[in-house]
């Protein structure tokens, strides 16, 4: 009986089906958690970058003034 249980546990441990999906879910969860924790800082950085891009675009479209 113990040999059968050990064999089944060993098969389960070596079975890697779905492991890639689990890793992807964990990576996405970590990214979401980091984004939630640092959302204010990320928002400020993105707004700053978009503001700079808007200024450069306007400068280019106005003829380099």
pTM of the model: 0.46
* Residue 54 belongs to a domain: yes
pLDDT tens readout for residues 22-61: 788 999 999 999 989 999 998 999 999 999 999 988 888 8
Q: How many domains is the chain partitioned into structurally? A: 1
* Residue 49 belongs to a domain: yes
Domain extent, residue 53, equals 25-65
Do the Cβ atoms of 42 and 35 come closer than 8 Å?
A: yes
Other CB atoms within a 10 A radius of the CB of residue 42 amount to 13
């Amino acid at each position: 009986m113990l040999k059968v249980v050990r064999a089944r546990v060993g098969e389960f441990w070596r079975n890697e089906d779905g492991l890639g999906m689990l890793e992807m879910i964990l990576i996405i969860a970590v990214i979401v958690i980091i984004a939630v924790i640092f959302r204010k800082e990320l928002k400020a950085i993105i707004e700053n970058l978009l503001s700079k891009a808007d200024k450069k675009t306007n400068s280019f479209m106005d003829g380099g003034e």
